[in-house]
């Protein structure tokens, strides 16, 4: 998924859903006769807020619930499989029999190619695609509910979900095209189902709904030069590409005694009920914190890379001294080549930019480079540490090896690019 939108402000909090992923335990009133159950619907509403404890309990989401219902809500910061923050809540009727809830986003991922070795571990144990309807059957079984029947999704709801991702893809497509990389493929699927279970003497009816969003990302194979050794030709090595699939599911759940279910559904489907979009002040604060954390992380990575390069330089100097000592009889012949090699290595080390790419490039797994001679700015993959461009400006070469130099091994004259900020400024 290109991982990557910072905040999904409408993260399926509209309507109702599930918070814990388990069938509610029988309430103490479950032993009473069914005829004594209080109606799930009652007059009046109130607004509750889900707050963000990591931002001084700032209000994140507003949730409208029936006035006499009990409410519990919490904000999840997400993990590696479902990375964005999302609100979770449970609202329970006064008699404890009826409830609506939304559960934390559930995610799973799989891949073809080398990237399959680097998938996150905090995901569902699913290793391939699953339809939305089959996912509801999976959830019903997990929650120990009786799966009664599939339910049709309203056409307008499905169309709105599809349009949301089409619009998002349309906005990001030009950026990917300008960098000559394949844009992620986003798909969304909705499903609904009727479920049932027995709560003591009460026959219960429930509604499950899910919104599954999947992203397919193509990662091209890595290219680089093989290790050079005296008397051996330099060859190009190419790794196989990878395709990474990531899916997230937002499950909503509502349940009530059979004779109250229809009224409860009408109450919660009324305009304005349930959770609303994220509070703007909180969205801005969360986004700014994300940017700051990204910049700090990138700066730390650059410092680590600089330390590694310094260690490599020290090792190179040591090895060079040993070689000079072992081959002293050839010093006069090799001195000039050795000096040139040392000067080039030092120039490459000094030319490396230590500036931090901005958070947009980081989120897109890209970096911005600038030609020191022409000032031309290009967007390239951040998977490689070094980028070279030939004199025509049409061909580029990327590598992770500090000693790899296409000059002399590839046609033309090549210039190593400077890493700059995403807007092309800085050194």
pLDDT tens, position by position, 214-254: 999 888 876 555 555 555 555 555 678 889 999 999 999 99
Q: Which helix (H) or strand (E) covers residue 348, if one does?
A: helix 331-351
pLDDT of residue 287: 83
pLDDT, greater one: 26 or 309: 309
Q: Region of 178 please: left (phi>0), alpha (psi -120 to 50) or beta.
A: alpha
User: Per mean pLDDT, which range of 4-13, 56-65, 102-111, 392-401 is the poorest?
Assistant: 4-13
Measure the CA–CA gap between 230 and 323, rounded to whole angstroms. Answer: 13
pLDDT at 150: 96
292-299 average pLDDT score: 82
Residue 40 pLDDT > 90:
no
Looking at residue 427, what is its pLDDT?
Answer: 61
Alpha-carbon gap, residue 209 to 259, rounded angstroms: 21
pLDDT tens-digit map of 169-208: 888 888 888 888 888 999 999 999 999 999 999 999 999 9
Average pLDDT over residues 207-212: 95
Is the pLDDT reported for residue 3 higher than 70?
Answer: no
Residue 358 confidence class, pLDDT cut points 50, 70, 90: low
More confident residue, 55 or 357: 55
Structure tokens at 88: 């979770």
Please tell me the predicted confidence (pLDDT) of residue 350. Answer: 52
Confidence of residue 42 (pLDDT cuts 50, 70, 90): low
The pLDDT of residue 148 is above 80: yes
* Averaged pLDDT for residues 3-19: 35
Cβ pair 221, 384 in contact under 8 A: no
% of residues, the chain, pLDDT over 90: 30
pLDDT given at position 236: 53
Distance CA 8, CA 252 (A): 16
CA torsion 269-270-273-278 (nearest 10°) is 80
**pLDDT tens digits for range 101-116:** 998 889 999 999 888 8
Q: Which of 55-59, 335-339, 377-381 has the lowest mean pLDDT?
A: 335-339
Give the integer Cα–Cα distance in Å for 260 and 264: 6
Least confident of 42-46, 59-63, 182-186, 384-388: 42-46
Top-confidence residue, 197 or 367: 197
Task: Please say if the pLDDT value at position 23 is more than 60.
Answer: no
Quick one: pLDDT at residue 1?
Answer: 35
Mean pLDDT of 67-85: 85
Strand pairing report for 45-52 and 58-66: antiparallel
Q: What was the pLDDT predicted at 22?
A: 33
Q: Which residue has the higher pLDDT, 341 or 17?
A: 341
Residue 266 CB-half CA count within 13 A: 9
How many residues are recorded in the chain?
Answer: 427
Percent with pLDDT over 70 in the chain: 79
153 band by pLDDT with thresholds 50, 70 and 90: very high
User: Could you give the 3-state DSSP secondary structure of residue 123?
Assistant: coil
**What 3-state DSSP class applies to 225?**
strand
Instruction: Output the pLDDT for position 18.
Output: 33
Q: pLDDT band at residue 296, thresholds of 50, 70 and 90? A: confident
Start-to-end CA span in the chain (Å) = 30
More confident residue, 1 or 143: 143
What is the pLDDT, as a whole number, of residue 313?
A: 82
Structure tokens given for 115: 């990237």
Residue 222 has what DSSP assignment? P
The contacts of residue 11 (CB under 8 Å, 6+ apart) are 84, 86, 87, 105, 250
**Structure tokens belonging to residue 332:** 């006069």
Would you call 209 helix, strand, or coil by DSSP?
strand
pLDDT value at 334 more than 70: no
Looking at residue 354, what is its pLDDT?
45
Instruction: Work out the mean pLDDT of the chain and round it to a whole number.
Output: 79
For residues 427 and 387, the model is more confident at 387
Rg of the chain in Å (alpha carbons) = 29
pLDDT at 361 over 90: no
Please say if the pLDDT value at position 9 is more than 50: no
pLDDT for the residue numbered 344:
66
Eight-class DSSP state of 92: E
pLDDT, position 104: 86
């Amino acid at each position: 998924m290109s991982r990557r939108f910072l905040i999904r402000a409408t993260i399926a909090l509209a309507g109702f859903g599930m918070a814990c992923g388990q069938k509610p335990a029988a309430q103490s009133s479950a032993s009473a006769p069914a005829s004594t159950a209080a109606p799930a619907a009652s007059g009046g509403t109130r607004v509750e807020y889900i707050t963000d404890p990591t931002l001084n309990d700032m209000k994140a989401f507003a949730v409208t619930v029936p006035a006499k219902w009990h409410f519990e809500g919490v904000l999840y910061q997400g993990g590696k499989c479902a990375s964005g923050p999302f609100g979770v809540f449970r609202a329970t009727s006064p008699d404890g029999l009826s409830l609506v809830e939304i559960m934390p986003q559930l995610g799973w991922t799989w891949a073809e190619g080398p990237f399959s070795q680097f998938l996150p571990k905090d995901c569902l144990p699913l290793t391939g695609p699953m339809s939305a309807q089959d996912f509801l059957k999976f959830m019903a079984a997990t929650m120990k509910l009786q799966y009664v029947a599939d339910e049709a999704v309203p056409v307008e709801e499905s169309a709105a979900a599809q349009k949301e991702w089409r619009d998002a893809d349309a906005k990001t497509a030009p950026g990917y095209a300008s960098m000559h990389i394949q844009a992620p493929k986003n798909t969304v699927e909705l499903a609904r189902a009727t479920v049932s279970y027995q709560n003591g003497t009460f026959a219960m009816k429930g509604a499950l709904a899910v919104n599954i969003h999947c992203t397919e990302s193509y990662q091209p194979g890595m290219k680089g030069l093989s290790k050079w050794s005296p008397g051996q030709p330099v060859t190009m090595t190419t790794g196989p590409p990878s395709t990474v699939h990531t899916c997230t599911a937002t499950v909503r759940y509502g349940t009530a005694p059979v004779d109250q279910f229809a009224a409860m559904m009408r109450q919660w489907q009324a305009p304005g009920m349930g959770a609303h979009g994220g509070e703007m002040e909180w969205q801005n604060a969360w986004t700014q914190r994300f940017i700051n954390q990204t910049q700090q992380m990138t700066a730390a990575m650059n410092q680590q890379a600089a330390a590694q390069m310094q260690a490599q330089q020290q090792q190179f100097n040591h090895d060079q001294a040993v070689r000079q000592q072992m081959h002293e009889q050839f010093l006069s012949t090799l001195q000039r080549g050795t000096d040139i090699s040392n000067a080039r290595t030092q120039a490459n080390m000094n030319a490396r930019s230590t500036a931090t790419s901005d958070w947009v490039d980081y989120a897109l797994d890209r970096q911005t480079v600038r030609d020191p001679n022409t000032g031309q700015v290009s967007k390239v993959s951040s998977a490689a540490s070094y980028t070279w461009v030939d004199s025509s400006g049409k061909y580029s070469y990327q590598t992770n090896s500090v000693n790899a130099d296409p000059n002399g091994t590839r046609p033309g004259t090549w210039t190593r690019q400077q890493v700059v900020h995403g807007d092309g400024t800085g050194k």
